[in-house]
Structure 1
Amino acid sequence: MHDIRAIRENPADFDAALARRGDAGMSSEILALDAARRDKIQSAESAQAEQKKASKEVGAAKGRGDDAEFERLRALVSEKKAEVAAMQTEAKELDAQLTDMLARIPNLPAADVPEGADEDDNVEVSRWGTPATLPFAAKEHFDITGVTASMDFDTGAKLSGSRFVVLRGAVARIHRALGQFMIDTHVDKNGLTEVNTPVLVRDEAMYGTDKLPKFGEDSYQTTNGWWLIPTSEVPLTYSVAEGVLDESALPIRMTAHSLCFRSEAGSAGRDTSGMLRQHQFEKVEMVSVTHPDASDDEQKRMLRCAEDLLEQLGVPYRTVLLCTGDMGFGARRTFDIEAWLPGQNAYREISSVSTTGAFQARRMSARFKPAEGGKPEFVHTLNGSGLAVGRCLIAVLENGQQKDGSVILPAVLAPYLGGKTTLTAEGSLT
């Protein structure tokens, strides 16, 4: 959500920031609606003052026996009362229109975000690892001999439709091990607090984390009105909504391993093969709630937490700073981590780490009390994948594949796999 006062004070800057995202300026439309709302409020207050004045004079007129003046004033009070009610209703309607308009406008990009139209304009900031040159034609994850029998898309489609999968046996265990490895690392090494959240949330939680009203079609809503979470960013972030924290409580750093659900609206025909783009998937999420002065450094810290996981797994990756045209709706700056997938001969996104500034906090009224006193201020919120478990499974399988159809697994997973380090071509662990 945007601060209407900031738009009033710097409309040109607001429009310029939207232009960097490729959006048309909206300050004139916003300020016209804001002016109409404020005018209606002021008119209601003036009419209410007249009503109060007339109400006092009614008693005086009755006391001195002036029946005509008494009736005139009583009629005036009734008239002003109706005027006030009508104006207040109109003011509320205008306020709702203004709030809805502001809620549909994306966050403004940070000054250091490069301008661009799409992913082709993203800026690579670093690389780690060297993609191995395999002495055979690399296969995609679902075609690796040791994987194929345990990654069942046919049964997934029979149960739920396209873009669902059933994992069995050793592959299911590797998938589970990856999630456990991520959570343990975040808790034991990175100092995050593990949280087990609901996967069903109310409208308020989706709205507060900028998933509604604009992107309702991207998520699933149940028949009783709850929403299946697109990621645990929603419940983790909204857990601090409608409250005032002590500054000493910041930063709050959380992580959760959860099921996630996305309708993938608008992605028809993209990544239809394999596990890359599913309607149901698992992700380990990181969320931080910080002091505004610390949010940029916090984003760098979260980025390193995600990168370190891939380094421990031995998966080559590159990190890119998203341009203005490729950032998500609520982000003011986003770094994507793209893992190397030999089967596709390409880097593909495995994590996004974003800072929203006060954008989400303003929507959900999440504030903190400054230690030195003064009015409460909005916190800053950040979120990042640490990591997408299914995509990490893809990366581990493809990067570890061998000519005979087996897969050499990362050593860090051995404690979660009973000491086993290889997925055989027959689909078992040894």
Structure 2
Amino acid sequence: MLQLAYIRENKDQVVAGLTKRRFANAEDVINQVIELDDLRKSTQQKHDQVLSESNALSKEIGALMKAGKKDEAEQVKQKTADLKVEGKTLAENLAQYEKDLKAVLYTVPNVPNEHVPEGNGENDNITIEEHGTIPTLAEGSLPHWELIKQYDIIDFELGNKITGAGFPVYKGKGARLQRALVNYFLDQAVKAGYQEIQPPILINEDSGYGTGQLPDKDGQMYFVREENFYMIPTAEVPITNMYRDVIVSADELPIKNVGFTPCFRREAGSWGAHVRGLNRLHQFDKVEIVEIHHPDNSYAALERMCGHVKSLLESLNLPYRVLNLCGGDLGFTSAQTFDMEVYSAAQEKWLEVSSVSNFETYQANRLRLRSKGEDNKTFLLHTLNGSALALPRILAAILENNQTPEGIKIPEVLIPYTGFDIIN
């Protein structure tokens, strides 16, 4: 959530940034925020004045009673009664203005960093790096949704029987390869200095608001009505919320955590060939890295996090490219995001496997995640996260790019984890 002081002091910059990310009616919404804040401030001032006057009159009543001036004391009592009524009305108005202000602020996305390019959507994202050689497959090579049937390693029909579409069952070497990827990604993150976390996969409403999934992604999350819990769309949510309402000491920074969880997304409105097979699921596994930094250090950290993801892709011998997302394709809470995509040779297209983002103070302001400077004043920290990595499309690319007449070869770095070097 954007800070009110930042909005007021940098109104033109905020409006320009929101326009860059194609946020509708940016200036009108920001004007509404400022107007509500003005109402809140003036009402608070009036309420404080009424409270102060009421307290002063209460003392005056005591003095008048001691002086035997009962009639005058009764008149003052009537004034205090009137002030109490006025104060109650002002308090109710103040609470409503604060509620309305927060509701509007929750609809306002983050302001993009100056290095975010202009653009309306994914076609305007900027490719800043490509790595690796796109494999040339033999004639008759198959997409992964055919390969998994041929080798009986993932069963979508069985998942549909148990739950529904988008909930696959991993079997035999498919399950072992899935587990191998999780363990490999976790081990590499721990070697890179991340602390492993195993968080809950259900969150409460406060956690959803804390990292910005609510109210923005309300309809995309699975909801458990009886307990008012949400199933997590990513491990970012519970791990970052570990620091909600926390003042982090300077010697604790930077904070680097990694967690593996299943992730759940309704993906309402998704259909077509681009979501076939493992390309888009309702339940999938992901290893997530989450970092918390002093504002001065967060963009250097963003670069290092991208480097960590790239090193994983290179070790798996997967050709990849890095995209700097344009304003129109930027996630709601992000100030800057880099997407990593791997090339799927059988599908002949790029598949997103990781997003690495800096949220600057946007999440921290919602979370009240702070630290203290040398002057002992608190300031908001910067939060970052990235997929390292999401498994379904990585698995799809491994299956497709490594298929041979003899079977599907396993990347060398995974063989110690799988215990086999080929699926046949």
Q: What TM-score comes out, normalization by structure 1 length?
A: 0.95
Change (3 A) 1:175 1:147: farther
Aligned residue for 2:422?
422
1:9 and 1:378 mapped to 2: Cα distance? 17
Cα distance change of structure 1 residues 57 and 102 upon mapping to structure 2, 3 Å threshold? same
Once the two structures are TM-superposed, the CA of residue 242 in structure 1 deviates from its matched residue by 0.4
Q: Given that residues 137 and 401 in structure 2 are in contact (C-alpha distance below 8 angstroms), is that contact kept between their aligned partners in structure 1?
A: no
Superposition pairs for residues 12-411 of structure 1, below 5 Å?
A: 12-23=12-23, 24=25, 25=27, 26-144=29-147, 147-188=150-191, 190-223=192-225, 224-269=227-272, 271-370=274-373, 372-403=374-405, 406-411=407-412
CA contact (8 A) 1:331 1:356 kept: yes
The alpha-carbon deviation at position 270 of structure 1 amounts to 6.2
Deviations 1:21-44 (A, max 9, x none): 112222211111111111111111
* Cα drift, residue 145 of structure 1: 6.4
2: CA distance, partners of 1:146 / 1:58: 88
Cα distance in 2 for partners of 1:375, 1:147 equals: 63
What is the one-letter code of the residue matched to 2:263?
C
Verify the 8 A CA contact 2:8 2:34 in the aligned structure 1.
Answer: yes
Partners of 2:233 and 2:148 in 1: CA distance: 32
Describe the superposition over 1:318-337 as per-residue Cα deviations: whole angstroms up to 9, x where unpaired: 01100000010000000000
Q: Which residue of 2 aligns with 1:427?
A: none
Q: Is the 8 A contact 1:369 1:376 kept in 2?
A: yes
Counterpart CA distance in 1 for 2:341 and 2:172 is 28
- Contact in 2 for aligned 1:147/1:171 (Cα 8 Å): no
Gaps of 5+ in 2: none
- Asked whether the 8 Å contact 1:288–1:381 carries over to 2, the reply is yes
Task: For 1:20, give the aligned amino acid.
Answer: K
The code of the aligned residue for 1:346 comes to K
Residues 276-295 of structure 1, C-alpha deviations (whole Å, 9 max, x = no match): 11111100000001110110
Q: What is the TM-score of this pair, normalised by structure 2?
A: 0.96
- Which 5+ residue runs of structure 1 have no aligned equivalent? 425-430
Identity %: 35
Aligned counterparts of 1:365 and 1:51: Cα–Cα separation in 2: 34
- Secondary structure at 1:271 match in 2: helix
- Distance in structure 2 (CA, Å) of the matches to 1:270 and 1:197: 34
Deviations for 1:334-374, whole angstroms, at most 9, x for unmatched residues? 0000001112101110000000001000001001122x233
Tell me what 1:428 maps to: none
Deviation per CA, 1:67-107: give whole Å up to 9, x if none. Answer: 32111111111111121122112111101111111111110
Write the distance in 2 (CA, Å) between the matches of 1:319 and 1:58.
73
**Offset at residue 146 of structure 1 (A):** 6.9
**Given residue 2 of structure 2, which amino acid in structure 1 is its aligned partner?**
H
Q: Is the 8 A contact 1:284 1:387 kept in 2?
A: yes
What is the CA distance between 1:65 and its match in structure 2? 2.5
Whether the 8 Å CA contact 1:12–1:27 is kept in 2: the answer is no
| Local SS of the residue matching 2:416 | helix
- Structure 2 distance, partners of 1:119, 1:146, is 32
Counterpart Cα distance in 2 of 1:138 and 1:321: 32
After superposing on structure 2, the runs of 4+ consecutive aligned residues of structure 1 that deviate more than 3 Å are 145-148, 268-272
* SS of equivalent residue, structure 2 residue 263: strand
